[in-house]
Amino acid sequence: MANIKKNDTVVVLTGKDRGKTGKVLLVFPKEEKIIVEGINFAKKHMRKRREDEQGGIIHKEAAIHFSNLAIFCKGCNRPTKIGFNALKDGTKTRYCKRCKEAF
């Protein structure tokens, strides 16, 4: 879960959007779910609350469980696994396990 962060590019592994890539917009660590730009659009019925409001159906990205996503490495041009390097000050950096490119 900690592998994926906001603004990462991820690829969808399962479901109707399988193979698509998108940018991470939001991460919900507790639910282990992620919202990806342009992925997993869900129809939502909106009730009109005021006369000047638009009711009807809107399309919005729905959250996806993180296990259905993988980090997309631009260097390898494919989904990849992330490794961690621990620095002396305790911070961690991420890198692609395939091409060793840092994220």
Pull the structure tokens for residue 53: 């409001």
Rounded distance, CA 20 to CA 73, Å?
Answer: 13
Min separation Cβ 6 and Zn ion, Å: 20
The widest CA-to-CA distance across the chain, in whole angstroms, is 60
According to the binding rule CB under 5 A, does residue 97 interact with Zn ion? Answer: no
- Given a contact cutoff of 8 angstroms between Cβ atoms, the answer to whether 3 and 96 are in contact is no
Q: Which of 27, 72, 73, 94 binds Zn ion (CB under 5 A)?
A: 73
Q: Who's near 16: CB < 8 A, 6+ residues apart? A: 40
Q: Which of 75, 81, 84, 93 binds Zn ion (CB under 5 A)?
A: 75
According to the binding rule CB under 5 A, does residue 11 interact with Zn ion? Answer: no
Alpha helices of 14-58 — where are they, by DSSP H?
none
Mark residues 27-66: x for contact with Zn ion by CB under 5 A, - for none: ----------------------------------------
**CB under 5 A: which stretch of 18-26, 34-42, 67-75, 82-90 binds Zn ion?**
67-75
Query: Which residues here bind Zn ion, judged by CB under 5 A?
Result: 73, 75-76, 80, 96, 98-99, 101
